[in-house]
Amino acid sequence: MSKISLHGFNNLTKSLSFSLYKLHYLADDNAIAAYNAYIAKRFCADKLNVLLTDICHAIGGNVLNVAMQDYQPQGASVTLMISEGEQAQPLPKYLSTSLPTKLPAQLPADLVAHLDKSHLCIHTYPDDFIQDSLSNNIAIFRADIELSTCGVISPLKVVNYVIDTFNADVIDIDYRIRGVTKSSQGGKIFIDQVLNNISDHISSKLLAAYTVENNNLSSQNIFHTKLCKSKVTLKDYFLKYNQVKLTKIHSSEIKIQIARELQQLYTKSV
């Protein structure tokens, strides 16, 4: 097995973490069954592998090896071995001026990708899709993603891609830099880029859809940004919105319920 050269290696570890929350309104058992079917079809291990590979390419990494497994009754795992590469692939371009209207909800899954001394992982946490477990018929889906890199590649390159792909309602993003590397003159370096806020790396198109708050400990190289959808649009919370018959009163009640849930997730308070 050939070794990967680390000559001139940047010893800083840069870790980017996402907690992404998406809500869906499930009115009855039929809606729950449809949702489960949608998740199982669209987010098997093959699809999760594509997601990780896109993230790998977005930061300029190369996939060395892939292992993946689906589980019964549900769930999937994917592992990628990755090396830092010179041939970065561009992020997908936005095809319209509006955000996607549906979140690609996922199966419970653990994914790990290693970038010579770094890693990429995703864990998903859906609600139990049974009627009695839902709060006001609202299912909360959460996906946690963490990308840690060493070397010159920056995890911040994938911020827009992850937000756009998941179209989550509430997002917590953490970025932290640890370790020490040296300049060509021998001086110590604890951060290798100018950074004020994570939100500076989010496109104006995405920011327009969210309320944004930054909370940083810059002296410790710890940065945190949280986002919450600023407008509740009902079609974003139904898988088959065109087939749903709602009165104006019922629509208003559902909007209030969803807005309340979003605020609780955003502020971490009930």
Residue 5 lies in a domain: no
The pLDDT tens digits for 130-157 are 555 556 789 888 888 888 887 777 889 8
* Mean pLDDT across 180-208: 89
pLDDT at residue 117, as a whole number: 54
Of 83, 114, 119, 123, catalytic = 123
226 found inside a domain = yes
The answer to whether residue 192 scores a pLDDT higher than 90 is no
Q: Regarding predicted confidence, which is higher, 130 or 202?
A: 202
Peptide bond into 126 cis (omega under 30): no
Residue 48: Cβ within 10 Å count: 22
Position 76 in a domain: yes
> 63: part of which helix (H) or strand (E)?
strand 61-70
Structure confidence at residue 262 (pLDDT): 97
Residue bearing the bigger pLDDT, 184 or 50: 50
DSSP 144: E
Q: Which domain holds residue 70?
A: 13-267
pLDDT band at 63 (very low <50, low <70, confident <90, very high): confident
Q: How many domains does the chain have?
A: 1
Any domain includes 172: yes
Let me know: does 174 contact 224? Beta carbons within 8 Å. Answer: yes
| Helix, coil or strand: residue 36 | helix
- Structure token pair of residue 160: 């827009």
Output 219 or 119, whichever has higher pLDDT.
219
The residue ranges of DSSP E strands in 103-169, in sequence order, are 109-115, 118-125, 138-149
118 is catalytic: yes
Is the CB of residue 139 less than 8 Å from the CB of residue 175?
A: no
Range list of H helices, 59-118: none
8 Å CB contact between 112 and 79: yes
Compare 7 and 39 and report the one with higher pLDDT.
39
- Is the residue at 2 inside a domain? no
Beta strands in 150-250 (DSSP E): 170-178, 181-182, 188-189, 210-217, 222-229
Average pLDDT score over residue span 237-251: 88
Among this protein's residues, is 123 annotated catalytic?
yes
**27 or 84: whose pLDDT is higher?**
27
What is each CA distance from 127 to 47, 131, 133, 139, 146, in whole angstroms?
A: 20, 10, 8, 6, 21
What type of residue sits at position 125?
Answer: Y
Over the chain, what is the mean pLDDT?
Answer: 78
Instruction: State the catalytic residue, choosing from 150, 154, 199, 201.
Output: 150
Enumerate the β-bridge partners of residue 63: 82
Cβ-in-10-Å burial (0-12, 13-18, 19+) of 158 comes to buried
Identity of the amino acid at 97? T
State yes or no: is 121 an active-site residue: no
pLDDT band for position 115 (cuts 50, 70, 90):
low
Residue 63, domain CATH: 3.60.90.10
Taking residues 120-135, report their average pLDDT. 65
Amino acid identity for residue 26 in this structure: L
Domain assignment present for 1: no
Question: Higher confidence at residue 181 or residue 195?
Answer: 195
**Is residue 124 one of the residues assigned to a domain?**
yes
pTM for the predicted model, two decimal places: 0.81
Interval 214-224: pLDDT, tens:
999 999 999 99
pLDDT of residue 209: 97
Q: Say how many residues make up the chain.
A: 270
Backbone phi and psi for residue 126, each to the nearest 5 degrees, phi listed first: -80, 155
Q: Which two structure tokens, joined as six digits, stand for 53?
A: 């590979």
The token duo for 109 is 């899954």
pLDDT higher for 182 or 214?
Answer: 214
Of 24, 57, 118, 121, catalytic: 118
